Amino acid sequence: MSPKTLYDKIWDAHVAHEAEDGTCLLYIDRHLVHEVTSPQAFEGLRMTGRKVRAPEKTIAVPDHNVPTTLDRANAETMTEDSRIQVAALDKNAKDFGIHYYPVSDVRQGIVHIVGPEQGWTLPGMTVVCGDSHTATHGAFGALAHGIGTSEVEHVLATQTLIQKKSKNMKVEITGKLRPGVTAKDITLSVIGETGTAGGTGYVIEYCGEAIRDLSMEGRMTVCNMAIEGGARAGLIAPDETTFEYCKGRPHAPKGAQWEAAMEWWKTLYSDDDAQWDKVITIKGEDIAPVVTWGTSPEDVLPITAAVPSPDSFEGGKVDAAQRSIDYMGLQAGQKLTDIEIDTVFIGSCTNGRIEDLRAAAEILKGKKVAVKRAMVVPGSGLVRAQAEEEGLADIFKEAGFEWRMAGCSMCLAMNPDQLAEGERCASTSNRNFEGRQGYKGRTHLVSPAMAAAAAVTGKLTDVRELM
Amino acid sequence: MEKFTKLSATAAPMPLVNIDTDMIIPKVFLKTIKRSGLGVNLFDEMRYDRQGNEIEDFVLNQPQYRDAQILVAGDNFGCGSSREHAPWALLDFGIRCVISTSFADIFYNNCFKNGILPIVVTPEEHAKLMDDAERGANAVISVDLEGQTITGPDGGQISFEVDAHKKHCLLNGLDDIGLTMEKAASIDSFEATAAQSRPWV
């Protein structure tokens, strides 16, 4: 048998039909659904009299629109259009008989945090969702990617997706990370290296010692941002860390089925002599705590650097860099550690898990925030409950952070959690696009520890100085 | 879905690289449960000031580009979120074709589901088409999907690649779901096998 990559193996196990030109029907094991990209798809099913083919493999949770204030049980806290969208998901989940975690359920949260937490996401699966950050689930060695609403409807109706195979890219992070360097710094540094279009047409497999050493939470952070590098999906081969995480989760297999699953899962790795279309190698020790200065995730630099000059770029990036610097209200040559911060946001499907909250709390312990506002939005109700049990919530509150309910919140600012014009935020989210966190809001992407460091100093800060 | 066969129209130049889906349609307009009506908010934050007045400089506000049906855009167009609201907004405005040196994967696929043709060209071809587009309404660009060609205002022709299946669906305005349902037997048989080999799924 010819050697295969992990992606090849998962792909081959899911081809339900292949046409002569290589167009495949890829079978989908898990379909995650949220309120923003699904209403038109369910409406399409109704108009054509179609059903959901596999409701038992379809899981819905509202996350993008939902308020994160403590009084959110009161529907008045939502705007009319948000309320309609969430109500539509309530109704669609009920009418089509799919699994559902409503806002009132303690298990509700960001779809990409709920899926793994509940054991829906398992190694070797195909997972899709009408959301680009579906790449998160690749941390389990599952082929997971975002789809548009027409494709959501296609998966609902047929449990398959029309696909052509992507190319294989290997991103190896060798050796150990230095203190203060996290999964977020890895994933941003990779995008800094490849650019936001560098992964277009590829599925990335992250490997190497620094990746192996990461917890599942960290691996999810890395894969989450594969899409920011343009890749269709990111993957990490499952290992003992993965199996340990999955074991005992509500929807993970049990008993003999667990054993059978493990037997297959242990074959899910790239063969030694597998062929790669592109290989990138980065030394773990070369990665520093990083921060974005511009309005694209590729605009990333070590915290010790300065805002670059647009002239240092080439082609279309010269104008884009100038536009970014103007939008962000910065000057070329300005030290990144001189940039003052108004707001700190900790949360999102990138960094809203328990380990992220622990890392931030570690820096905040016994300190007070020096910014205008600081907010923690746990990724799910269960993360929130665990953080309360571990005493993290008290650390956040005593430091002056708002302790919120679960949701996407200020990562995309579809709910009331938004930046004001010109407000500058150190954010653990995934996109620093213009207007992403609010009209004319300014976003600097950082790790949770770096966000906490910025919160206590009021400026972008090298977290290593506080450790 | 509306067919796409041939199109001759004004092309609007948008040379900025990395135009993301938040720029194409900001999230405040995603709170709809419909597909239609998003054209008025296409490129909203670049197109209007906070009071809702048009920003004169913005390309689609200029008289010669108001009826543009083609965009010639900078590299990595449509990066960011999976929101299909981006092609819905383009279509609702009247854009049927976007030409760039590369597109983000999900956006590229979403276009084909909505009767929009995204075309990838080389940097040299792109520079020429951008020049053409900057000549405004006098510079009509013609796109022929069947022949896979773009013809510029001066008669110069460029060939482009497109996946055969996607081309077939776009030329005929075909609904993917209907086509897939014709292969239901393959899906049934896959499910039956998987139920044995991976019963935990």
Q: Model confidence over A266-275: pLDDT tens digits?
A: 999 999 999 9
- Terminal-to-terminal C-alpha distance of chain A: 51
Contact B84 A37 (CB under 8 A): yes
Distance CA B59, CA B94 (A): 14
Distance between CA atoms of residues A34 and A225, nearest Å? 19
Whole-number Å distance between alpha carbons of A122 and A219: 14
Show which of residues 195-214 on chain A sit within 8 Å of chain B, judged by CB atoms: 196-197, 200-201
Which among B74, B105, B180 has the least Cβ separation from residue A160? B180
Do A329 and A352 touch, CB atoms closer than 8 A?
Answer: no
Pairing of strands B6-14, B140-144: antiparallel
pLDDT at position B35: 94
The predicted pLDDT at position A76 comes to: 84
Asked if A197 lies within 8 A of B109 by C-beta distance, the reply is no
Q: How many Cβ pairs within 8 Å bridge chains A and B? A: 188
* Min Cα–Cα distance to chain B from A320, Å: 6
Report angle CA A141, A146, A152 to the nearest 5 degrees.
120
Confidence (pLDDT) at A363: 98
B200 contacts A154? CB cut-off 8 A: no
Strand partners, B12: B71
pLDDT of residue A112: 98
Rg of chain A, C-alpha, whole Å: 21
Could you write out the DSSP letters of every residue in B42-53?
Answer: TTHHHHB-TTS-
Minimum-distance CB partner of B177 among A85, A154, A433: A154
Q: How far apart are CA B134 and CA B14, in angstroms?
A: 9
Q: Which domains does chain B have, with CATH numbers?
A: 6-197 (3.20.19.10)
A contacts of B194 (beta carbons < 8 Å): 27
pTM: 0.97
Q: With contact defined as beta carbons under 8 Å apart, do A41 and A155 qualify? A: no
The sign one gets for the Cα dihedral A216, A222, A228, A230 is: negative
Sequence-distant (≥ 6) Cβ neighbours of residue A69 within 8 angstroms: A77, A404, A405, A416
Please give the pLDDT value at position B139.
80
> How many CB atoms neighbour CB A335 within 10 A?
13
CB-based contact B165 A162, cutoff 8 Å: yes
Instruction: Flag residues of chain A having pLDDT under 50.
Output: none
Q: Are B32 and B84 in contact (CB under 8 A)?
A: no
| Per-residue pLDDT tens digits of chain B, which is 201 residues long | 899 999 999 999 999 999 999 999 999 999 999 999 999 999 999 999 999 999 999 999 999 999 999 999 999 999 999 999 999 999 999 999 999 999 999 999 999 999 999 999 999 999 999 999 999 877 899 999 999 999 999 999 999 999 999 999 999 999 899 999 999 999 999 999 999 999 999
Interface of A with B in 400-439 (CB under 8 A): 412-414, 421, 431, 433-436, 439
Distance CA A187, CA A414 (A): 25
* Strand duo A290-292 + A300-302: pairing: antiparallel
**Contact at CB, B105 and A200, closer than 8 angstroms:** yes
Give SS3 for B179: helix
B chain contacts of residue A157, beta-carbon cutoff 8 Å: 177, 180-181
CA of B170: how far to CAs of A2, A23, A63, A414, B174, in Å?
A: 36, 15, 34, 33, 7
Distance between CA A185 and CA A187 in Å, rounded?
Answer: 6
Residue from A150, A194, A436, A437 to probe the interface with B (highest B Cβ count within 10 Å): A150
Q: Which of residues 332-391 of A touch B (CB under 8 A)?
A: none
The angle subtended at Cα A416 by Cα A415 and Cα A422, nearest 5°, is 115
The residue of chain B with its CA nearest to that of A129 is B82
Cβ distance of B31 and A253 shorter than 8 Å: no
Rounded to a whole number of angstroms, the distance from the CA of A191 to the nearest CA of chain B is: 13
Place of tokens 């560098």: A198
At residue A141, what is the residue type? G
Secondary structure letter of residue A459 according to DSSP: B
Say whether A264 and B198 touch across the interface (CB within 8 A): yes
How many angstroms separate the CA of residue A414 from the nearest CA in chain B?
A: 6
Residues 167-196 of A with CB under 8 A from B: 196
Determine the residue among B109, B175, B200 to mutate to test chain A binding: the one whose Cβ has the most chain A Cβ atoms within 10 Å: B200
Using CB atoms, which residue from B32, B187, B199 is nearest to A16?
Answer: B187
Give the burial class of A137: count Cβ atoms within 10 A of its Cβ; 0-12 exposed, 13-18 middle, 19 or more buried.
buried
Predicted complex ipTM: 0.94
Secondary structure class of A412 (helix, strand, coil)? coil
For residue A424, list its beta bridge partners: A442
Q: CA nearest A36: which of A80, A94, A81?
A: A81
Provide the pairing of β-strand A278-283 with A167-174: parallel
Nearest CB among B74, B76, B82 relative to A132 is that of B82
Q: Is B139 helix (H, G, I), strand (E, B) or coil?
A: coil
Which amino acid is located at B17 in the chain? V
Could you give the CA distance from residue A43 to residue B16 in angstroms, rounded to a whole number?
36
Residues within 8 A of B (CB atoms), A 139-158 only: 145-151, 153-154, 157-158
